[in-house]
Amino acid sequence: MGDLNYRIPISDTEAKAYLTASKLQELLELDQLKVEQQNQRVFVGFEEAPITFRPTYKFDVGTSDYDTSEKKRSPSWCDRILWYTNRQKDARQTWIQNLWYRSTMELTLSDHKPVSALFDAKIRAVQKEKMEVLANQLAKQLDKFENESIPTLEVKDSNISFDNVRFLVPITRSIIVQNTGKVLAHFRFIPKQDELVPCKPFYHISPSTGALLPGDAIRINITLHIRQVQTASSLTVGTETLDDKLVLHTDLGKDSFVCLAGVWLPSCFGSNLEVLCSIQKPIRQCGLEGVRLVSVHLKQGKGRHIVDGPVSLEDSSAVSMSDAATNQRIPVELLRMVDFLFRYGLDTDKLFRSPGDPFLVRYIVECLDTGSEFDVEGLLLEEPEETEALSNQDSASQEDLQDMNSEERISDSGQTIPLDIDLLLKSASILRRGNDATSKILRLTHRKGRVASVHAVAECLLKFLEGLEISVVPDSLYLWIVQEGYYDAEARQKIRASMPAANGVVFDYLLSFLREVLAGYTGNPEPSAESLARIFAPAMIRKPLDVDTSFLRDAGGFGVEFRAAVFIEQFLRDK
């Protein structure tokens, strides 16, 4: 609508003649706008009501007379009203109807006469009911699209149990994670709130991160491996548990949780000297609650106790009093390791300097924890024949078990150990708790030879000492040692006298063994009191976590590790 400025391309005289003769239709045929529309050059698809009024341009201002100026403009329909209907979107012909289309000749303010039109038009209105239905449908479709765009992982069997967890023996369990969504899903295990790592240090997750296509699944292995003897100690005394919770995070999706739990089998590694000396059966047979019960009674000063088998914390009647004079003062486990090294290891090169074979170390630990006899033949010989599997394949005959008295002569001789294998097998030590004649030999599945076996037992000995809940030399004596005991003989003897009975006996026993090593060792390199002290001092004398050694910065001199080693060295030099 507006002044489109299309003209009648004839002279004003001719145009006025048409008007005088009332030939409007003939004059309209010359209208430039009509001509251009018919040729589809402008306003294609636009419509206009029939024109029944005279041309609206050009008039002398203030009058209704057509132009009388020198320019003599031809009368034309410059002012028009057109409308458009999109046939592709609305094929209805009746949605708009023109009721009238006219000009107002009475107005003389301009050289144009205004044009007006009245229409009957159908206006689209929103039907709220239909709109709500449609809106709900669209919302559902949008929700479905959004949900399908969210990565979704499903964890099958999210509760994992590790039964019969043993020291140094890894156990692996698996979970299956499947992408049940419709988009690629990236996942990773993340730390729980206020923690820095996804799991406790004795758990290992593989793989811990990855990506899954829709429908794909992956097996994730979770391995529990108690490698540190300090961890074994914490599990035995109850300051640590195997319980843990893993958080499987899905990028842009929901977190899943995997609960871990396990049953810890107590081990002499990480145990307590007093406890080991107070139980009659191997620690595995006493059970975790039995070991803790004995520990509680000892801490309460109720005397030494013997546990015959598995007990619960509620069943205190299972713990019987024992005369201290008849109770063993050195743990059988320690006796067995020292006995083996004394018999078969004093000619082995790099004794206490070479790591033990992991398989043999686990075997030694299992024998000590279960009370099973060493397979001496398997430990000393190489190139094994087919033997029974290690796990729960214990067997022995009474002919395999030799009388201890016949072996004591070799142990007390102090001579170089004969390497005749028949003699070695006949003199195998059978150390038992409570003269248990039913102990069985735990057969080896793989023989590594005597040298490897000696190194494995040597490593076990050091691990055993390092892991004691209370070190051989108690923490309370540590500062005394590094301040005076390492150089003062009188202080050294006072420190020894201050040790608890069980600790003192074990301390003396280890020193006696190390003196025998110094006297009878024939391997290479030749040991010295200093070298043995440097090896055993960290295992026998542990630096407490809360000890204050700041005095060393002021006084200067040797470090605490060196002073502890000198303390042991001086005892080895004493006769």
Query: Do 218 and 287 have their domain in common?
Result: no
User: What is the pLDDT at residue 557?
Assistant: 53
Provide the residue type at 543 as one letter: K
Contacts of 23 (CB under 8 A, 6+ apart): none
Does 218 lie in the same domain as 167?
yes
Q: Mean pLDDT across the chain, nearest whole number?
A: 84
Q: Are residues 481 and 458 in the same domain?
A: no
Strand order in the sheet with 244-250: 159-165, 256-264, 244-250, 185-190, 209-212
**pLDDT tens, residue by residue, 23-38:** 999 999 999 999 999 9
- Tell me the range of 90-94, 304-308, 421-425, 470-474 where mean pLDDT is highest: 470-474
Mean pLDDT lowest for which of 105-109, 303-307, 395-399, 527-531?
A: 395-399
* 194 located within any domain: yes
CA 266 to chain centre: 26
In the predicted model, is pLDDT for residue 416 greater than 70?
no
Instruction: Give the single-character DSSP code of 524.
Output: S
Q: In terms of pTM, does the model score above 0.85?
A: no
Amino acid found at 335: L
Domain co-membership, 305 together with 337? no
Residues 525 and 428 in one domain: no
The answer to whether residues 223 and 163 belong to one domain is: yes
Name residue, tokens 């499903």: 154
The two tokens of residue 543 are: 């630096």
- Average confidence (pLDDT) over 445-461: 96
352 falls in which pLDDT band (50, 70, 90)? very high
Please return the burial class of 397, using the count of CB atoms within 10 Å of its CB with bins 0-12, 13-18 and 19+. Answer: exposed
- Of the three residues 438, 466, 494, the one that is the final residue of a domain is 466
- Determine the pLDDT at residue 5: 83
Residue 392 or 441, more confident: 441
Helices 283-299 + 358-370 axis angle, to 10: 70
Q: Work out the pLDDT band at 89, boundaries 50, 70, 90.
A: low
Q: Is 127 contained in some domain?
A: no
238 pLDDT more than 70? yes
414 has a pLDDT exceeding 70: no
Residues 6 or more apart in contact with residue 80 via CB below 8 angstroms:
1, 2, 4, 6, 33, 48, 115
Cβ neighbours around 254 below 10 Å, total: 11
Q: Tell the residue number behind the tokens 């964890």, with chain if given.
A: 155
Q: 418-440 as b/e, with b when 16 or more CB fall inside 10 Å?
A: eeeeeebeebbbbbbbeeeeebb
Q: Is the predicted pLDDT of residue 568 greater than 60, yes or no?
A: yes
Task: Name the residue type at position 517.
Answer: V
129 in any annotated domain: no
What is the greatest pairwise CA distance in the chain? 156
CB atoms within 10 A of CB 390: 18
From the list 209, 211, 329, the residue with the least C-alpha distance to 276 is: 329
- In a shared domain, residues 525 and 424: no
Give me the half-sphere count of Cα atoms (radius 13 Å) on the Cβ side of residue 115: 23
Q: Which of 307, 335, 301, 230 is nearest to 500 (CA)?
A: 301
| Cα 495 from Cα 473, distance rounded (Å) | 9
> Do both 247 and 299 map to the same domain?
no
- Quote the CA–CA distance of 347 and 158 in Å, as a whole number: 53
Distance CA 55, CA 71 (A): 17
For 266-317, how does the pLDDT look when each residue is reduced to its tens digit (9 = 90+)?
Answer: 999 999 999 999 888 899 999 999 999 988 888 777 655 444 444 444 443 3
Could you tell me where the beta strands, DSSP code E, fall in 166-216?
171-179, 185-190, 203-206, 209-212
My answer on whether 431 and 317 are in the same domain is no
Angstrom CA distances, 78 to 31, 48, 66, 366, 554, stand at: 9, 13, 13, 111, 109
| pLDDT(323) > 50 | no
The residue count of the chain comes to 575
Specify the higher pLDDT residue, 223 or 143: 223
375, 407: one domain: yes
Above 70 in pLDDT, residue 423? Answer: no
d(CA 408, CA 339): 10
Using only C-alpha atoms, the chain has a radius of gyration, in whole angstroms, of 51
Q: From 397, 431, 466, give the residue that closes a domain.
A: 466
Q: Which structural domain, as residue segments, surrounds residue 361?
A: 332-466
**pLDDT over 70 percentage in the chain:** 82
The residue to which tokens 């394949």 are assigned: 393
Q: Are residues 296 and 248 in the same domain?
A: no
CATH number for the domain including 86?
A: 3.60.10.10
SS3 370: helix
Q: pLDDT of 128-177, one tens digit each?
A: 999 999 999 999 999 888 888 899 999 998 999 999 999 999 999 999 99
Specify if 374 maps to a domain: yes
- Residue 383: pLDDT band with limits 50, 70, 90: low
**Three-state SS annotation for 350-381:** CCCCCCCCHHHHHHHHHHHHHCCECCHHHHHC
For the chain, the domain total comes to 5
pLDDT, average across residues 473-499? 94
Q: Based on the number of CB atoms within 10 Å of its own CB, is 164 exposed (0-12), middle (13-18) or buried (19 or more)? A: exposed
Reported as a pLDDT band with limits 50, 70 and 90, residue 186 is: very high
Looking at residue 106, the DSSP 8-state letter turns out to be T
Spatial separation of the C-alpha atoms in residues 282 and 290, rounded to whole Å? 11
Domain presence at residue 143: no
Asked, for residue 42, whether it belongs to a domain, the answer is yes
* Distances 358 to 196, 344, 363, 440, 481 between C-alpha atoms, Å: 30, 19, 9, 22, 34
Do both 234 and 286 map to the same domain?
A: no
Last residue of a domain, one of 413, 438, 466: 466
CB neighbourhood size of 519 (10 A): 9
The answer as to whether 203 is a domain residue is yes
413-415-421 Cα angle (round to 5): 100
Q: Is residue 294 part of a domain?
A: yes
CATH of the domain at 197: 2.60.40.10
Task: Read off the pLDDT of residues 326-338 as tens digits, 9 standing for 90 and up.
Answer: 346 899 999 999 9
Residue where the block lists tokens 């009203």 = 81
In the numeric block, the tokens 């994992």 are attached to 160
Q: Which residues pair with 101 in a beta bridge?
A: 117
pLDDT band, residue 70 (cuts 50/70/90)? confident
User: What CA–CA distance (Å, rounded) separates 309 from 307?
Assistant: 6
